[in-house]
Amino acid sequence: MIVRIVKMSFKEEEIENFLALFQSKKQYIRGFEGCTFLELYQDKHNPSIFFTYSYWESEANLESYRHSALFKEVWTATKIKFNAKPEAWSLDQLVSLK
């Protein structure tokens, strides 16, 4: 399993637009082949900063998504709203306690 974390910082006037975009696309992202989990977080102290966490069955599934028409559509509409360069990490989950 691959855990993908993306940190995004938005122009203040674009926050609501981003949230509307995420709301309209989240079920398609989560429904993409190999995606088993998707969450969106907002920083408690800086409302312009958001993180997405997604779990992918394999790196191949994540790469398939990153080269899909869905990703291109969502990323094109998202990146114009940024006020800083996004950061992303792909991680192997070592321990999970539930």
b/e per residue 40-56 (b: at least 16 CB within 10 A): beeeeeeebbbebebbb
Q: Is 97 within a domain?
A: no
The β-bridge partners of 56 are 2, 35
pTM: predicted TM-score of the whole model, two decimal places = 0.93
Q: Is residue 23 part of a domain?
A: yes
In a domain, 88, yes or no: yes
Q: Are 37 and 19 in contact (CB under 8 A)?
A: no
Q: What is the pLDDT of residues 12-43, one digit of tens each?
A: 999 999 999 999 999 999 999 999 999 999 99
Q: Does residue 98 belong to any structural domain of this protein?
A: no
> Would you say residue 41 lies in a domain?
yes
Confidence class of residue 98 from pLDDT cuts 50, 70 and 90? Answer: confident
Write out pLDDT tens, residues 8-17. Answer: 999 999 999 9
Classify 89 as helix, strand or coil.
strand
Rounded to the nearest integer, the mean pLDDT of the chain is: 97
Structural domain for 83, as ranges: 2-92
Q: Is residue 15 part of a domain?
A: yes
Q: What is the CATH number of the domain that holds 83?
A: 3.30.70.100
The DSSP H or E segment spanning 35 is strand 35-42
Number of domains in the chain: 1
